[in-house]
Chains A and B, each alone.
Chain A
Amino acid sequence: MNKEQFTAQVLDAEKSLYHIARSYLKNDEDCADAMQNAILHAFEKLHTLRDETYFRTWLTRILINECKQIIRSRREQIPYEEYYEEAQTMTEQREYPEVFEAVMELENNYRAPFVLFYVEGFSMKEICQILKLSQSTVKMRLYRGRKFLKSKLEGVYGYER
């Protein structure tokens, strides 16, 4: 894969990368940082990608590592609660659909599998590879996520079951 193909593939996946970063990080500035770092690391390590058909899965895995790295560094600098409050202040200017807000209320462990499966359309197998979790764990987290959202969203946007 050359640089031009890499650029096109990254731009093709940009929206998905942003959604995934946003499911880990609470403000857009951190999302931009995570996406930038992921792109740089992916380009540096491009030679290690053996099969280009896995590019999106592979890049998503790198992105999630970057998101976790940012969360860790924030914890070292300021208490996580403060980061969360600061981030909420920075993002409160934007209005999101109720469905998005509900997904963001999911616990961290449930949110990532949910976003990957339902929002971004990754397969169960891909999610297991990305999150390094067993299939039964992913299924359990999806089930609990669904249950939570069902209770939150009943009646919203025609949500039924």
Chain B
Amino acid sequence: MKDKKWNDAFPEVPEHVHQAVLSTLAGLDDGKVKRVRKMKKSKMIILAAAMAAVLGMTVSASEIFKWNHKAEEVFHADEDQQTALVMGQIAREEYQTVTDNGLTIQAIQTIQDNNCFYALFEISAEDKSIQITPDYSMDFLMDCQGEENPFSMLSWDFVDEGRQAVSNSRYFEITGTKMNPGSEDLNMDITFTSLNGPGEKAMEGEHLLEGSWEFEINLHTTEPVCYELDRECQIAGCQVTVNRVELTPISIKLICEEEDVRQLEVKEGISLEQADSLSALYVNGIRYQDGTVVEEMGYQELEAGYSDGKYTKTARLSGVIDVEKVSALLVGDNMDEINIR
């Protein structure tokens, strides 16, 4: 009887239980306890082999939590940062693979916080004559299981040739800007419906392979670190009251008094209502408490605008930051300091 594979008949560890374990392990360092309770049903397709590969080996934490190299390229995270973000549930390996009609789609990694979302998939055609170039596209549907669409902006594409050579397999990225993040996690179904060849115009590519490839992705809510400042700062020669700064390892939110930011608009001769961008509040660097300055190399503004007398901007940073050690944001061409301590 002991020879029978009883273990195979028992369920794999559900994703949200696994995340709860990771979260607890993450809290061991500093005595903080991070617990996750998730009551919603999970229908994650967990690949037993992939899971066993992770769980069955005795390896170091940095090896266990290492990201896919493509995601690593996007967020420029070193091994410690990768481990910290996995443990903090900002980065997740997905372990979901679906094959239909000769096309295999693997959900590889998601990285997200309250402001932004990034998902990495690998699309592989069995037919090696299908050479997927960056001009190919995927059709897909998104459904937040009855909840409102949480994204104000969404974009998707195969990675370009500079990042991956052309073959029958290619990475596919979805990035989104979240709006009004609540305190509850959401589950989102992403169902791919076709791989399309290149078309003369967007959305006109021929449907090469049709099928149904369904994935359930958890839209995790991360508490940012918030600094209530209400502090006047000298920015581009103007007095600007910065009300609040919110930081996560991958994004920032900056809230200032509208009338002060209007001065900056006038000075730069731009109009935010005309979708111009205000360079004086570009976050061009981060100063850490030990004095180290990390320059931002191409961060993405997610949203910026006025509401209720305040100017709010959110941006995804070009690299992962250590939130606990940040002492100031450096904005504009002059790297004016917004001290947050």
Contact = CB atoms under 8 A, between A and B. Distances in A.
B10 A8 contact: no
A93 B41 contact: yes
A146 interface: yes
Interface in B46-79: 51, 54-61, 64
A156 to B, nearest CB: 10
Interface in B10-24: 10-14, 16-18, 20-21, 23-24
B325 interface: no
B24 A39 contact: yes
A117 B39 CA distance: 31
Contacts of B17: 18, 28, 31-32, 35
B1 interface: yes
B29 interface: yes
Interface residues of A, number: 42
A107 B280 CA distance: 69
A9 interface: yes
Interface string A4-27: 101111111011001100100000
B13 A3 contact: no
Interface stretch (B30-38, B154-162, B216-224): B30-38
Interface in A13-65: 14-15, 18-19, 22, 28-29, 31-33, 35-36, 39-40, 43
Interface residues of B, number: 41
Nearest to A6: B28
A14 B55 contact: yes
B4 A10 contact: no
A146 B6 CA distance: 12
B7 interface: yes
B236 to A, nearest CB: 45
A36 B35 contact: yes
A99 B55 contact: no
Interface in A106-160: 115, 117-121, 146, 157, 159
Contacts of B18: 14
Main secondary structure of the interface of A (DSSP, over half): helix
B341 interface: no
A100 B13 contact: no
Contacts of A43: 28
B55 A12 contact: yes
Nearest to A102: B9
Contacts of A9: 58
B55 A15 contact: yes
Contact of B61 (A7, A22, A103): A7
Contacts of A22: 10-11
Contacts of B13: 14-15, 18
B1 A118 contact: yes
A33 B33 CA distance: 12
Given A33-B37, A90-B39, A96-B11, A12 B16 contact: no
Given A7-B64, A12-B58, A18-B17, 15 more contacts: A3-B29, A7-B61, A11-B21, A15-B51, A22-B11, A29-B37, A32-B20, A32-B37, A36-B20, A36-B33, A39-B25, A40-B24, A94-B41, A118-B4, A118-B6
Interface of A: 3-4, 6-12, 14-15, 18-19, 22, 28-29, 31-33, 35-36, 39-40, 43, 90, 93-94, 96-97, 99-100, 103, 115, 117-121, 146, 157, 159, 161
Closest 10 CB pairs of A and B: A99-B9, A32-B20, A36-B24, A93-B41, A119-B6, A97-B9, A118-B6, A18-B13, A32-B17, A7-B61
Interface of B: 1-2, 4, 6-7, 9-14, 16-18, 20-21, 23-25, 27-29, 33, 35-39, 41-43, 51, 54-61, 64
